[in-house]
Amino acid sequence: MPERDEHIAVYNRYTGSLETESVYGEKWLRWSYETAAGRLMLNAVIKRAWFSRWYGWRMSRPGSRRLVQPFVETYGLDETEFADPVTSFRSFNDFFSRELRSGARPIDPDPASIVFPADGRHLGFPSIGSQDRIYAKGQSLNLHELLDDSELARRFAGGAVVISRLCPVDYHRFHMPCAGVLSEPRSIPGPLFSVSPIALRSQVGFLAENKRAVSLIRETVCGTVAMVEVGATCVGTIIQTAPPGWVAKGVEKGMFRFGGSCVITLFEPERVRLSDDLATESARGYEIFARMGDRLGMAQVV
């Protein structure tokens, strides 16, 4: 990706311009991932599951609710989108995994469209490329390592991939990108590195190391789709809320608890054409900001 040592630039689909991202906990992240002392602490403590469980426990305590209103004001969140008033949240974690009011995220109605599964900043590549690798941020991510399944890696090699990075300020529920028959998720254990742009710039392979869950969506308009929900530092819990079986496009699939996190959506070869802005800006090395339910791409006739 373009070198951006001091600022993280993201293309905003709605304004049509590059904007500087305000990274939650930026000083702490830069110390952890960009200094020798920080990297020692990262590997000794921060990436450990117990650290995230401890932090999640703190954010679930009733006293953490005092953090909610200042957080909303600091990051300019739109309270009118929330299903419940700010004063109703029992803890910061309760607020973090909040629901939105009905209609806050319209789902693209075209039967052939595929939608973003989450609010966030997205990278999209039309083809995973040779040797089963996803190329992102100037580095490579091994597809076999990500899926922990050689057969699935071969199945999705050469297909499109979308990496959706959620920040702590985002709505933290993830949804179906298309209608289809949802499988039981398969959990893959791992550490909990950050998935912030600062961390991923140092090592995008964290996405294939972290704790994650893999689900397949079959009988869709674009063949079989794989969804990978990736945990991260302070996100030790990935909750699946949609039961296996037929699920409609845009229906909630699950939620993350506190922290930044990531959803990776994989498509079989030549089954999806990514939206122009997603493909163009990703090729330039910029994520695009878009909301859940907006068009990610269109199914292709095969």
pLDDT reported for residue 190 = 78
Annotated catalytic residue: which of 194, 196, 261, 282?
261
Q: Say which residue the tokens 């580095």 belong to.
A: 139
Residue pair 265/297 in contact by the 8 Å Cβ criterion: no
Task: Look at residues 122, 228, 232, 124 and name the one whose alpha carbon lies nearest to residue 183.
Answer: 228
The position carrying tokens 């469209």 is 113
Q: Is the dihedral of CA 130, 131, 132, 137 positive or negative?
A: negative
Residue 288 falls inside a structural domain: yes
51 assigned to some structural domain: yes
Tokens of 152: 């699935």
Q: How far is CA 178 from the centre of its chain?
A: 16
Of 119, 132, 170, 294, the catalytic one is 119
Number of domains in the chain: 1
According to DSSP, the β-strands at 120-125 and 180-182 are unpaired
Centre a 10 Å sphere on the Cβ of residue 142 and count the other Cβ atoms it contains.
Answer: 15
Assess if residue 87 is contained within a domain: yes
Confirm if 128 and 293 have CB atoms less than 8 A apart. Answer: no
Per-residue pLDDT of the chain (302 residues), as tens digits, is 333 445 678 999 999 999 987 665 556 555 555 577 666 665 555 555 555 565 656 777 888 899 899 889 988 899 999 999 999 999 888 888 899 999 999 999 999 999 999 999 998 989 875 344 555 555 667 888 889 999 999 999 999 999 998 887 889 899 999 999 999 999 988 766 656 555 556 556 667 777 889 999 999 999 999 999 987 665 557 889 999 999 999 999 999 876 668 899 999 999 999 999 999 998 888 899 999 999 999 999 76
| pLDDT in the model for residue 107 | 98
7 catalytic per annotation: no
Residue 295, in any domain of the structure: yes
Residues 174 and 263 sit within 8 Å (Cβ to Cβ)? yes
pLDDT score of 1: 36
Residue tagged active-site, from 175, 202, 215, 282 = 175
Q: d(Cα 138, Cα 207) in Å, to the nearest integer?
A: 14
* Position 28 in a domain: yes
* pLDDT value of position 226: 98
Asked, for residue 1, whether it belongs to a domain, the answer is no
**Residue 172: active-site member:** no
Q: Is residue 248 part of a domain?
A: yes
Domain that holds residue 269: 7-302
In a domain, 2, yes or no: no
Tell whether the torsion through CA atoms of 197, 207, 117 and 95 is positive or negative.
negative
Rg (CA), the chain: 18
The predicted structure's pLDDT at residue 216: 98
Residue 117 tokens, joined: 């599964």
Both tokens of 208, joined, read: 């294939």
Q: Is 32 a catalytic residue?
A: no
